[in-house]
Structure 1
Amino acid sequence: MVLVVCLVALVVIASFLGLVSFRNGRRSCNSKDKGKLPLPPGSMGWPYIGETLQLYSQEPNLFFTSKQTRYGEIFKTHILGYPSVMLASPEAARFVLVTQAHLFKPTYPKSKERLIGPSALFFHQGGYHSRLRKHVQSSLSPEVIQSKVNEVEAILLSTLDSWDGSRVINTFQEMKKFSFEVGILAVFGNLENHYREELKKNYCLVDRGYNCFPWNIPGSRYRKALLARRDLDRIIGEIISERKEKRFNEKNLLGCLLDSSDGKGEILTDAQIADNIIGVLFAAQDTTASVMTWVIKYLHDNPKLLEAVKAEQEAILRSNCEGFQPLSWSQTRAMPITHRVVKETLRMATIISFTYREAVADVEYKGYLIPKGWKVLPLFRNIHHSPDYFADPDNFDPTRFEVSPKPYTFMPFGNGVHCCPGNELAKLEILTLIHHLVTKFRWEVVGSQNGTQYSPFPVPQDGLPARFWKLSP
């Protein structure tokens, strides 16, 4: 019943959004009659709704893979109200994200933009984007991140303390709690508990409504999310006022944004700062939590690999006086087996299956026309799972990363000017988790060990229910 309601909702969305774009798409389809370049091969589906139902009536990755098998590495479709071009080759990803990135702007549904905030970094390009990205990168640089290793470790140990025993936990939800606390640390540094709890409560409401149908009516999840987003502005505004008054000089995201200037003396408004703080929290939480959940599953499913990782981490533990000394940044850099496990998890799971761009002008690519206004989606997952670049791609095999992959065949954090600026923090979270998990716990997955669900990022079925037990000292 829920699936039927969702599909009907998607039809309604696509019908309204797609009227103009479908007509534009049809006009473009006649372009070769006017002596212009042809559109890529593919199907535009039904009038107005395109192929939205086909996309959401099956696992999304199957939809894209079947299209690539039929039409090749560049094909057109019409989904969620927009004519779109899908690209499934490293060369195409490089073209869109790097060499000709100025021809493609980031694009997101307006309903999601309202919840995050229109001034957030990843909705923009050009001068404003460059200015913001510089400040975000400076707050998440390796030099800053390595000073936070002990704090990240302390947050993780606090999370793990609640796992021991026979109760079943939802691994994904636990990982979300951990990544959210690390996000708060990266954004605000030390934060008073009452602010932390208010942020957590309202952020959870926004998170719940983010992927819901955008009914702005009383009682709907989306409406509750909008109200919570307004409260987040108020809370962050209060924190900003306190930091300005106390003149804190901290190397966290808020400190960098408060110190920002465009060279003409203009500083960011409180609303712009709030949008970018919420944007970073959104970008950091679910994606990192998804990866960590998959790591736990893949280690569970590969006992020999788990033993190899455990041996590597126990050697580090012994060098730290059996854990009485904290993990260090240099030690996280010296985990070759574990690093390969993380990379293979990022490839196999491909949390970001594709990215959305929009052509800002008519673009020619490999003899085809990509019309202005069309959505353009580089398909990271298709590239990561192509046998042309990774032998036996559906097999979990970290040894493949003993040799560096070819350029633009492995893009877990995207590429170009819009690649994830927080990848070093995410890696630190994952490596710290693995170190303490394999040296201090054993675990078993409960129920079905197969299946993937999307929320919207891929996670193991039901969030990977599992039991964890502390090992004897």
Structure 2
Amino acid sequence: MPQHDSLAYIASTGAAALAVVLITHCLYRWRNPKVAGVLPPGSMGLPLVGEVLSLLLPCNSLDLHPFLKTRLQRYGRLFRTRILNKSVVVVADARSCHLILQKGEDVCESWSLDTFAKIFQQNKVNVGDIHKYVRSSVLKQFGMEALAGKLISMLEEASRAALEHWEEQDSVEVKSASARMALEFSTKQLISADRLQSEKLGSSFFMLLRGFMSVPINLPGTTHHKCLKEHEKAISLIRGILGDRFSNSDASPDDLLSRMIRDRENYEFLTEDFVVKLLFGLVYVSVDSVAVILTLALKFLAENPKALKELNDEHEAILKQREDSSTPLTWKEYKSMAFTHQVINETLRLASISPGLFRRARKDIKINGYTIPTGWVVLIATSALHLDPETYENPTEFNPWRWKEPSRAMVENFMPFGSGGKQCAGAEYTRVFLSTFLHILVTNYRWKRVTGGEVRRTPIIKFEKGLHIEVVKGRV
């Protein structure tokens, strides 16, 4: 072989060997990131995409999504993964979940996946006074005092109006119909939206809901791109309502927007942009959760005649205890709905609307001998807690009676709205909304499932063909 050919061969071979070494090194560093401590066990998946493909695989069951189930079996209740460009630690035991949720925003802040982050434009310094102010304001508008005072009667009126409309149709698709009901009510409380404004917001929001949990690739034709376009429409509408309120200082309805406008002098962060984005986020969280939970509750009740009869009996008993059966629902009556609360708890447990609650470590967090590095995302896997066979016997079975005398483990593992001071400010609002609707439904109407109800996790809950029910005036 000529000398120059030998040198070329040696050079090309050396370059190839060097490339293999570099690629191997990069893959090693990818799978074994540097950390001041010990990382939880797990896999970082493929470069760039991580393990997102496994996460997006659909599951035609209410059982725990296979992405979580297989990894919990393989690595235990604390493991690492990577979803798209985010390093994630999944926490799935009650004690560790509570510890994470108890940490302050300066240590572990609220966070969301890319699609949600881009839609909601989350503030990267969402701590301290901002968090306290938002929580306090939402509780004043939707908390216990407001619910017991004025909202319970308003929710009863909204439920009656919705069911009257449902009765006029041959059948109704529950999730979309209940989402419209929830959206109309929440936009009234948040921004005093009229029916036309509510319908326009609804049109954008229902398109948005189809795009959440999509791969965040912003190219024309992709679901994420359409999602962002609908976001722009919704933001523009809310901004217009805010502008009208600014230009008409005499208008001061009893809604959350008026409260924030009055508070602007005392809080510098209450800019127009902040208020618009916050209102957008609040509309979303107040609509989708109610719609999904109500749809699942009706699906479970339609499939369980014994539970439906006990629910009917409970609400008939409430009517019999009144001097006048046509009087409005009271707070005392709401608190007395023992079996209704059991049905809602069991629906919330099985719903696990998302895989869990997302946080992001702002400092290294030591837990169970492992380290969650600064900047990593923490997924508090509430769905794994709610479907744990060690805590809940036959965990995929709808059994509201399990909540009659719940064990300590059941209570500790149950956190559909978070935990402690980090619990969602709208938790009681959601329960009252559902209880009120069920009360009006079973004491004024007969209903039955017509078609649908099949559930798919992707990993959020979706209804393949919706749930269609027929509603007829008249009690059982």
Task: Compute the TM-score of the two structures, normalised by the length of structure 1.
Answer: 0.84
Aligned AA (1:48): L
Within 1, Cα distance between the matches of 2:135 and 2:168? Answer: 43
Where 2:403 maps in the other structure, the secondary structure is: helix
How big is each residue's C-alpha offset from its partner over 1:426-445, in whole Å with a ceiling of 9 and x where there is no partner?
11210011112222333332
Counterparts in 2 of 1:254 and 1:22: CA distance versus 1, 3 Å: farther
Q: Which amino acid aligns with 1:457?
A: I
67-76 or 230-239, larger mean C-alpha shift: 230-239
Q: Which has the higher contact order (CA 8 A, sep 6+)?
A: 2
2:419 to 403, 406, 415: 415
Q: Aligned in 2, Cα 1:338/1:362: closer, same or farther, shift over 3 Å?
A: same
In the alignment, structure 1 residue 53 sits paired with structure 2 residue 57: no
**SS of alignment partner, residue 125 of structure 1:** coil
Matches within 5 A, 1:414-453: 414-447=418-451, 449=453, 451-453=454-456
Runs of at least 5 residues in structure 2 that lack an aligned partner in the other structure: 1-25
Which letter does structure 2 place at the counterpart of 1:374?
W
CA distance in structure 1 between the partners assigned to 2:125 and 2:326 by the alignment: 44
User: Is the CA contact 1:453–1:462 (under 8 Å) kept in the aligned structure 2?
Assistant: no
Aligned partners of 1:313 and 1:408: how far apart in 2? 29
Q: Distance in 2 between matches of 1:462 and 1:350?
A: 20
| Corresponding residue of 1:6 | none
Contact (CA 8 Å) 1:76, 1:83: kept in 2 or not? yes
Contact preservation (8 Å) 1:104, 1:360 = yes
Q: Name the structure 1 match of 2:23.
A: none
User: What is the alpha-carbon distance in structure 1 between the residues aligned to residue 348 and residue 438 of structure 2?
Assistant: 14
Structure 1 SS opposite 2:281: helix
- Structure 1 residue 215 displacement after superposition: 4.9
User: Which one-letter code corresponds to 2:143 in the other structure?
Assistant: S
What's the offset of the Cα at 1:225?
A: 4.3
Residue number in structure 2 paired with 1:186: 189
Deviation track 1:306-362 (CA, whole Å, cap 9, x = no partner) reads 111101101223445675322222221111111111111111222233111222222
Rounded Cα–Cα distance in structure 2 between residues aligned with 1:472 and 1:111: 44
Residue pair 1:55, 1:63 contacting (<8 A) in 2 also: yes
From 401, 404, 423, the equivalent of 2:403 is 401
In 2 relative to 1, CA 403–236 (structure 1 residues): closer, same or farther, beyond 3 Å? same
CA drift of 1:289 comes to 0.6
How many Å separate the matches in 1 of 2:452 and 2:245? 48
Q: Which has the larger radius of gyration?
A: 2
Are 2:276 and 1:274 aligned?
Answer: yes
The answer as to 2:118 corresponding to 1:103 is: no
Task: Using the TM superposition, name which of 40-49 and 273-282 deviates more.
Answer: 40-49
When residues 347 and 227 of structure 1 are mapped into structure 2, their CA distance, relative to the original with a 3 A threshold, is closer
- CA–CA separation in structure 2 for the residues paired with 1:115 and 1:183: 19
Specify every segment of 5 or more residues in structure 1 that has no aligned partner in the other structure, as ranges: 1-20
Say whether the 8 Å CA contact 1:144–1:251 is kept in structure 2.
Answer: no
- Cα distance in 2 between the residues matched to 1:379 and 1:228: 29
Shift of 1:390: 2.4
> 1:177 is matched by which residue type in structure 2?
R
CA spacing shift, 1:100–1:408, aligned 2, 3 Å: farther
Rounded Cα–Cα distance in structure 2 between residues aligned with 1:184 and 1:321: 35
Question: Does the alignment pair 1:65 with 2:69?
Answer: yes
Q: Please say if residues 115 and 210 of structure 1, whose CA atoms lie closer than 8 Å, have aligned partners that are also in contact.
A: no
Partner Cα separation in structure 1 for residue 48 and residue 213 of structure 2: 22
**Higher deviation after alignment, 212-221 or 145-154:** 212-221
Cα gap change, 1:108 to 1:309, in 2 (>3 Å): same
**8 Å contact kept, 2:155–2:433:** yes
* d(CA) in 1 for partners of 2:447, 2:125: 40
Q: Deviations over 1:42-99 (max 9, x none)?
A: 2222333322222222437122122112221111222233222111111111111114
Aligned to 1:295: 297
Q: Which amino acid aligns with 1:148?
A: L
Contact 2:238-2:280 at 8 Å conserved across structures: no
Name 1:11's counterpart in structure 2.
Answer: none
Q: How has the CA–CA distance of structure 1 residues 193 and 78 changed in structure 2, closer, same or farther, with 3 Å as cutoff?
A: closer
Aligned pairs, number: 443
> Quick one: percent identity of the two aligned structures?
26
2: distance between equivalents of 1:106 and 1:156?
A: 33
Q: Deviations over 1:127-149 (max 9, x none)?
A: 32222222222222211123022
- Partner residue, 1:201: 203
Q: Secondary structure of the residue that 2:112 maps to in structure 1?
A: coil
How far apart are 1:233 and its partner, in Å? 3.7
Task: Report how far residue 175 of structure 1 moved.
Answer: 1.3
Q: Which residue of 2 aligns with 1:155?
A: 158
Would the aligned equivalents of 2:180 and 2:202 in 1 still touch at CA under 8 Å? no
**Is contact 1:88-1:383 (8 Å) kept?**
yes
Provide the rounded CA distance (Å) in 2 between the counterparts of 1:398 and 1:232.
38
**Which secondary structure state, in structure 1, belongs to the residue aligned with residue 448 of structure 2?**
strand
Given that 1:364 and 1:370 are in contact with CA atoms closer than 8 Å, whether structure 2 keeps it comes out as: yes
**In structure 2, what is the Cα distance between the partners aligned to 1:269 and 1:469?**
48
